[in-house]
Amino acid sequence: MKAKVDAGTCTGCGVCADVCPEVFKMGDDSLSQVIVPVVPKEAEDRCRDAASQCPVTCIEITEG
Ligand code: SF4
């Protein structure tokens, strides 16, 4: 599984980094960054939760 953030849409609310810190981190520009090339197996559920809780739905999950 991979995760991607659309930086043009992210508002920097920080929800994703709270829900799944293994994958998302708030950058110096106050926008969310994906910090791993592949989502660790044990973080997949939290990563999906983060995507579904993003208020502007700018997290794209690619399964596989
Ligand atoms: S939850 Fe969405 S809008 Fe909020 S910081 Fe994460 S990617 Fe950006």
Number of helices (H), then strands (E), belonging to the chain: the values are: 2, 4
Please give the model's pTM, rounded to 2 decimal places.
0.96
**Cα diameter, the chain:** 30
Report residue 64's pLDDT band, with 50, 70 and 90 as the boundaries: confident
Output the average pLDDT for the chain: 98
3-state percent helix, strand, coil for the chain, nearest multiple of 5: 30, 20, 50
- Ligand 1 atom showing the smallest separation from residue 12 Cα: 5
What's the confidence (pLDDT) of residue 12?
Answer: 98
Q: Which two tokens stand for residue 51?
A: 């995507």
Pocket flag, ligand 1, residue 40 (CB < 6 Å): no
Q: How far is CA 17 from CA 6, 59, in A?
A: 15, 12
Nearest to 49 by CA among 38, 40, 61, 37: 61
Interval between CA 64 and ligand 1 midpoint (Å): 22
Q: Which fold has domain 2-62?
A: Alpha-Beta Plaits (3.30.70)
